[in-house]
Amino acid sequence: MDDVELPSPATTTWSIHRYNGSEVLPAEDTIAVEAPLTILLDGEEFATLVYTPSDTMDLVTGFLASEGMIRFADQIESLSLEEDRGFAHVKLRHLHQLSRQMVSKRFIGSCCGKSRQFYFHNDMRTAKTVTTKLSLTIPQCFHLMSELQEQSAEFRATGGLHNAALCTVSELRVTRADIGRHNALDKIYGHILRERISVRDKVLAFSGRVSSEVVLKTSKIGVGLLLSKSAPTDLALRLAHDLGITVVGFIRKDHLTVYTHPERIAECR
């Protein structure tokens, strides 16, 4: 697999006029970059993403894994980028036509035999129940979320990016940012696969709302603890309950809410 990735800026500047409460002054503002990326599998269009052009190799790898096209990074025979034109060219060692055909088809089923839901067919094949014995304390939850916010320089500059981090119980190991919260998680997933990182002792910290898709991606990555400063949805919590994922939301200052599998939070036992 091609390991060469040319850097692309995640932010740009824009000339603006800012009102400061008493007068309007010319200034420059930092803006998040938004760009399309079309993924071509064996020369055929597979999907087009709108993303922040950074860590693109990780994004493409993680997206393909999330969609059930690959399980390991070495299933990608070649991956090359034309970021100036918005293309990622991918050749897989074995392209499974069933996976490709089912990417956008809805499947009505049950998650682990419990919550009857609508979601994509490939999610049925790739989402898995997480059985980690890892646990956190409430102070560790606060610490990891604080670290995520402190390392989010691009968010502070633009106010327009989501951030995700792969963590141990004590520190952040990998951080990724994107205008799309799902993309940020796919970038983390892709990095895990490309670097063959074990997730046995890992936690995900996340800046965005916890939707059902976020929970499904967490399940596919194989992490059992998901921390967020924002709110979850009802469907996300039902999936998290069924898939064995601890969701901790609204982690702000000295407050947090444990929604599912509280046995992994020491103070809730």
50: tokens are 């709108």
**What burial letters (b/e) apply to 97-111, b meaning 16+ CB within 10 Å?**
eebbebeeeeeeeeb
Q: Estimate to the nearest angstrom the gap between the alpha carbon of 240 and the chain centroid.
A: 16
Choosing from 112, 141, 167, 268, the catalytic residue is 112
CB 39 within 8 A of CB 46: yes
Establish whether 167 is a catalytic residue. no
Q: Long-range contacts for 151-159 (Cβ within 8 Å, ≥24 apart)?
A: 151/175, 152/177, 152/207, 154/10, 154/11, 154/32, 155/207, 157/11, 157/30, 158/11, 158/30, 158/31, 158/32
Residues 205 and 166: their CA atoms lie apart, in Å, by 7
Catalytic residue list: 112
